[in-house]
């Protein structure tokens, strides 16, 4: 399941970022045994399928990617060896226009 924590601490003396809009780190994790290439794609990268490659530990079937995102709601999917897959551990999955599911992550500020 995606987890988030505070990542960016703005310099309060120069152009401070309001606490409610500070970006946070979000860890995406997929357990998938046998995959060779895994990417994550979603609203946060305009659904570019191969722009965010996940770091893999294929022998353990574990894939990870950390993104820094502003607070908000994001839909996403994994691209596993050319096949789209929603996150089975996501708290929420919603139907998309292609007849499959997109996973949803809510990124909240850590004020």
Q: How large is the average pLDDT for residues 21-36?
A: 94
Residue 83 has pLDDT above 60, yes or no: yes
92 in a structural domain: yes
pLDDT at 5: 37
57 in a structural domain: yes
% of the chain beyond a pLDDT of 70: 83
Total number of domains in the chain: 1
3 in a structural domain: no
- Identify the burial level of 105 via C-beta atoms within 10 angstroms of its C-beta, where 0-12 means exposed, 13-18 middle and 19 or more buried: buried
69 in a structural domain: yes
Q: What is the pLDDT of residues 30-70, one digit of tens each?
A: 999 999 999 999 999 999 999 999 999 988 999 999 999 99
Segment holding 20, helix H or strand E = none
Domain range holding 24?
20-107
CATH label of the domain that carries residue 85: 2.60.40.10
């Amino acid at each position: 399941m995606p987890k988030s924590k505070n990542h960016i601490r703005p310099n309060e003396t120069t152009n401070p970022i309001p606490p409610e809009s500070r970006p946070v780190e979000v860890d995406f994790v997929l357990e998938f045994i046998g995959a060779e290439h895994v990417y994550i794609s979603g609203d946060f990268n305009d659904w570019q399928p191969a722009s965010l490659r996940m770091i893999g530990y294929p022998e353990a079937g574990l894939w990870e990617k950390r993104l820094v995102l502003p607070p908000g709601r994001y839909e996403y999917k994994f691209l596993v060896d050319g096949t789209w897959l929603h996150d089975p551990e996501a708290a929420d999955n919603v139907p998309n226009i292609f007849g499959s599911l997109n996973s949803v992550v809510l990124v909240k500020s850590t004020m």
